Amino acid sequence: MNIQRGLLLATALLASQSLATPQTESALPAWQDPTVFRINKLPSRSFFYSYRSAEEVNTTNPFQSSNHLLLNGEWQFNWVENPQSKIEGFEHNDFDDSQWDTIPVPANWEINGYGIPYYHSHNCFAPNVTPPELPQTYNPVGQYRKQFTLPDTWQNERVVAHFGAVKSAFYVYVNGQRVGYSEDSKTQAEFDITDYLKAGDNTLALEVYRYSDGSYFECQDMWRLSGIERDVYLFATPKVHIADYHSEATLSADFEDGILNLSTRIANVDSGTHRDLALKVSVSDNGETLAEELLTMGSLSSDSEQTINWQLTLADIEAWSAERPKLYQLDLTLLADDQAIEYVSNRIGFRSSELRNGQFLINGQPVLFKGVNRHEHDPVTGHVVSRESMELDARLMKENNINSVRLAHYPNDPYWYQLADEVGLYLVDEANIESHGLGAANQGAGYNPANHIVNQPDWRDAYIDRIENMYQRSKNNPSVVIRSLGNETGDGPNTEASYDWLKQASDEPVISEQAQLRRHTDAYGQMYASIDQITHYAETQVDSRPAILIEYEHAMGNSLGNFKEYWDTFKQYDSLQGGFIWDWVDQTFLRHTPQGEAFWAYGGDLEPPAVIHSDSFCANGLVYADRSAYPYLHEVKRVQQDIAIEFDEASKQLSVSNEFFFIDLAGYELSWELIANGQVVAQSLQNIPLSAAAQHTQTIALNELELDQFSGELFLNTSVQLAAAQGMLNAGHIAAQSQHALSSAFTPPLADQATRLRLRENDERFRLSSNVADIQFNKDSGLLTQVSYHGEEILAGSSRPEFWRAPIDNDFDISKFQPSLSTWQWVGRSMTLQSIDVTRIDSQRVKVSTVHNLPSVQSQYLSEYIVHGNGRIDFDLWFYAAPHQKQAELPRFGTLFQLNPALSQVAWYGRGPHENYSDRKTSADVGRYQSTVEDLYTPYVRPQENGYRTDVRTLHFSDDNQRGVSFLGAPLLSFGAQYYSTDDYDASKGQVSARNLHPHDLQKQDRIFVNIDLRQRGVGGTDSWGSPPLFRYTLPWLDYRYQFTMQPLNDIDQ
C-alpha cells in the first residue's frame, strides 16, 4: 500500500474559541444578556472519549473505564416558578437538601411533574415578544445537587465536567464555587473543574433556567421542555492532553485514494513545561495496521498548546457512503518520556462531499437524498432518547429505503452520529437556531426584520457560537455531509456571518432555506416546494445550485399523497436531488384515560386551558411515537427503493436496474410469482442471484413463464431480497418489489341463478322478495332501506349517496375547504325525492329508478337498481352537476351502507393489504386480502378519514358462518368500512371542527359503516395548510357515473 506522510507543528497560547476575550457577567444576569452565552466554558471540540490504557480503549462502555465517572441517576432537586423564588446558597457543601425531591438525570422536569409541558409549532414562549425580554412571572428554575466521590487516581489529573444537553441555560457550581455558565441546549457544555475539587466527597450543583435569552434561538416545532436532557459525567485526563483533533478523511481527485489530513491539538494546563512529548498515530482496518507513525513534539510550556498537522495518503481505499459505510480505525496515543499517558480512538470514513457542475456530489456521484427530518422524541421521557430508541430508528430507516436524515432542528445525541457512521445514513447537521417565534423569512407578513435578532449586531456572536458548537462536535463524522445554519432563522447579517464562518472552517456544503437563492447557501432548500415549483426551477435553470428540499411531504395525519410524483420529478432532472420528509416520528406522549385506555397526547392535552398550543401539529411522523408504522411508510419504502424492475411481456425478460451509486447487487436475489385472478399459479423455483453494477441494468429471461396457459387477470410480482444479513438488515430483507399488469381480463363472479322475484307495495315501501332475498325501498325517500339474504339481515339502516369524508388534517387548512367543500357534508342527507319508478323487466328482475334533487348544490342524483330474484342488485348511479354552477370539488362520490355488525370479516380482491388512496397506492399491490372491520381502521392520533382501499374488484363481508354480502366493481370500486360514521369524527356535531378528538373519544356503533365509492379525493401532502391534492386526484365539478353489484356472499364463488 502506498503511504505518503507529512508533518507540521504549530504552537499557541491557550485561548477561548471564537471570542477575543473571555466572557463575564455584566450588570445583567447572563441568562438575560444576549452578548453573554458562555462563561469559563471550554472551547467546543469534537466528541470523543479519553482513555488511560490501550485495553480500556476497547471497552464497549466508556463509563466502565477508570477515567470516566457517570453522574446519571437520582439528583436532589428543587423547582420554583421564577428566578425571584430560587433558593440562595443551595450550591454550598453544607446546604441541607434532605427535604428536597429527587429527579432522574437525564430527564425533562415537566415530564416528572414540575411545571407545564406545552407544544407550539413556533412561538418562543408567548406571541408578540421583543428580544431580549423574558417572562417574569413564569420562568421556572430548577436547582440540582449531586454528591460524588473523586477517585483517588484522579488526584493529579485534569478533571472536566461534561453536560451533554441542558435546556435552556445553566450555571454550574462545584463545592459552593461558581464554575461557569452555558447556553445552547443541544450541544455539550464542558468545564475544567480541577481547581474546584477536593479529595473525597464533592458537591456538584446546577441552576437551570427554563427561559433565557437563548430561548429566542430555540423556538423549534416541538414540545417546550426543560432540564438536563443528556448524559452528565466527569472525565480525567493528564495535565498534558489531547484537547481536540480533526481527522479530515477525504478522497483523491479520482476517488481511488484516501487522504487523511489530521490536525491534533495538544494542550498543557500544568504549571510547568513538559518535554519529550510525542504523538503516535495509527490507522488500521479490522486489526491490520495500514499506517503508523510517531510524531515528536519536543517541549510544551505551561498554559499553551501545540497543533500537530499530519497528512497520510492510502492508495486504493474503500470509500465511505451510506450504501457501503466502510470505516477505518484511527488511534492517537500521547506519550511523555516514551510512556503512553493518553489514548484516543475513533472510526473514520474516507469520503468527499462537494458541489460541482450544479450538483451535490458524494464521492463524485450525484446522490439522491431519500431523507426524513427527525426530532429527538420519546413517548414517555420526552427529549431524553435512549440508545435503544436510536438504534430502532436507524434500523427502521434502513429497512424502509431511507438514506438520509436532517437533524431537525438541532445537533443530536452523539450516539446518533456514531450510528449513522456505522450503518450508513447521510446527515444534515443543523445548528440549534430557530427564531420562528419572531417570524421567518419568505413566510409572509408575520416576519418583521427590524424586530428580528438575525439583524441585530448584539446577537451575532451568539449565532456564531452555536454554529461553531455544531461544527466542532461532528467535524469527524463521515455521515455529516451537509451543515445547516438552522431552521426558520430569519435571514440577515447574522446568518450571512454564520455561513462565512462555516465556509472558512470547511469547504463542505452549507444549506439555509431562509437564504433562498442569496449567496449564503450552497443549495436551494425551499420548504414545501410543490412539484410544479421544483419542475419550474429545474427547467428554467434560474440558478446553478441544486435543489434539495429540506422539508417536503408534510406527513400530518392521513397524508403523503403524490409521493411517487415527487420522485418521478426528482429523477427527471439532474438539478433535483431529493429531500427530507416532514417528519420521522410523531411528537406525542403516551397517556391514559381515567378508565385506563391508552392514547397519544398532543397539544392541548397536557397544558392548562389558557396556554396557547398547536393542537396535533406535532403528529407528522411516518411512525407513531412508539415507532410502529403508519400505512404510508410502505409508500416511502416502495417509491424510494434503489432497485427498479421492469418486465417485457413479449420477450419474457426482466430488466433489473441498480440505482445505487456505489454498490453492485451481489448479495441480492430475485424471486417472482405469477398471479391469476389473485391466486398464485406459478413461481420461481429458486431465487435468482443478481449482479448488476451500480447504475447498470441486468436482464433476466423468464423462459419458463408460460403465460398462454393461464386465463383471467394476470400480474407478475417480483421481489428482491438479501441473501445474507447485511449490517442492520436481516437475511431475507425485502429491498425492492414490483407488480406488472399483464392482462386485465377479470370477470367478476356474478350470481346468475334463475329465481322468481315477487313485487309488492304499500303506502310506505316497495318490497321485492324471493326465496333468497328480501329487498325494500322507501317510497318517500327513494332509498334502499332493507336487504336480507336467506333470512339474515344485511343492512342495519338505509343506504344513501355520500359526498363527504371525515376531514383529514390536510383538508382542514385548505382555504377552499371551509365553507365551500363543507357544503357536501349535508348534500346526501338533505336531498329530496323527485320521482321513483318501479318496473318489472321479467319474472326474475325488477328495475327501480329514482331521481333526487340536491338543492344545496342545485344538481341531481339519479339511481337505477336492477334487482334479481337471486338477491343480486346492480347499481347504476349518476351525479349530474348543474351546468351553470361552480361548486367546490366533491370530497367523494359513493354510496354509504350500514351493515349488520355481525358481518365483521372482510375479504377483497384489490389493492392492499394496507390502507391506500388514489394518490398513495404505489406500494399497495393488487391481490386477495383478508382482515376484520376492526383491523381496517387506522387510529390516526387525531381521528379522521382512514382505512380506505382502492381499485377493488370484489369485496366480501361475512359473519362467523361465512354468510354475508359481496360487492363487485364494474369494473372497480373503492371502499372503507368501520364502526364509526363521518359524524362521529366531527367533535362539534355539525361543524367542521374536530381538532381535539382522540380515538378514545369515538364510540363504536352497533353497525358497520361501509362506503362503496367511485372514488374520493386524494389525501395530498405537499403541505397541510393550503395545498390541495394534485388535480388528477380530485373530483372537480363534473358529471359522474359508476356501477357496482351487491349480492349474497354464499351464492357465489368467493
Residues recognised as catalytic:
488, 551
Q: By three-state DSSP, how is residue 1014 classified?
A: strand
- How many C-beta atoms surround the C-beta of residue 271 within 10 A? 8
- Closest among 928, 924, 930, 921 to 912, alpha carbons compared: 924
Q: Can you read off the three cell numbers belonging to residue 727?
A: 449490517
Q: Where are the alpha helices (DSSP H) in 268-424?
A: 387-399, 414-423
- CB within 8 Å of 1043: residues ≥ 6 apart: 874, 875, 876, 877, 970
How far is the C-alpha of 461 from the C-alpha of 617, rounded, in Å?
A: 33
- How many C-beta atoms surround the C-beta of residue 815 within 10 A? 9
**Whose grid coordinates read 452565552?**
37
Q: Can you read off the three cell numbers belonging to residue 483?
A: 451543515
Q: Can you read off the three cell numbers belonging to residue 550?
A: 429540506
How far is the C-alpha of 203 from the C-alpha of 98, rounded, in Å?
A: 14
Quote the DSSP letter at residue 386. Answer: -
| Residues paired with 629 in a beta bridge | 623
Amino acid at 951: D
How far is the C-alpha of 147 from the C-alpha of 149, rounded, in Å?
A: 7
**Whose grid coordinates read 465536567?**
161
Q: Can you read off the three cell numbers belonging to residue 89?
A: 446558597
Q: Can you read off the three cell numbers belonging to residue 221?
A: 416545532
How far is the C-alpha of 379 from the C-alpha of 501, rounded, in Å?
A: 37
Asked whether the beta carbons of 833 and 780 are under 8 A apart, the reply is yes
Asked whether the beta carbons of 796 and 545 are under 8 A apart, the reply is no
Asked whether the beta carbons of 1016 and 894 are under 8 A apart, the reply is yes
Q: Can you read off the three cell numbers belonging to residue 742?
A: 399483464
How far is the C-alpha of 221 from the C-alpha of 230, rounded, in Å?
A: 20
**Cα dihedral 750, 751, 754, 760 sign:** negative
Secondary-structure percent of the chain, ordered helix, strand, coil, rounded to 5: 15, 40, 45
Ramachandran bin of 989, using left for φ above 0, alpha for ψ from -120 to 50, beta for the remaining angles: left
DSSP H or E run through 793 = strand 792-793
Q: Can you read off the three cell numbers belonging to residue 156?
A: 493529579
Q: Where are the alpha helices (DSSP H) in 127-281?
A: none
DSSP H or E run through 1013 = strand 1008-1016
Asked whether the beta carbons of 624 and 393 are under 8 A apart, the reply is no
- Closest among 83, 385, 407, 409 to 217, alpha carbons compared: 409
How far is the C-alpha of 947 from the C-alpha of 804, rounded, in Å?
A: 15
DSSP H or E run through 564 = helix 563-572
Asked whether the beta carbons of 18 and 464 are under 8 A apart, the reply is yes
How far is the C-alpha of 149 from the C-alpha of 721, rounded, in Å?
A: 54
Quote the DSSP letter at residue 473. Answer: H
Backbone torsions φ then ψ of 1000, nearest 5 degrees: -75, -10
Q: By three-state DSSP, how is residue 475 classified?
A: coil
Q: Where are the alpha helices (DSSP H) in 763-833?
A: 809-812, 827-830
| Residues paired with 382 in a beta bridge | 378
Backbone torsions φ then ψ of 770, nearest 5 degrees: -150, -175
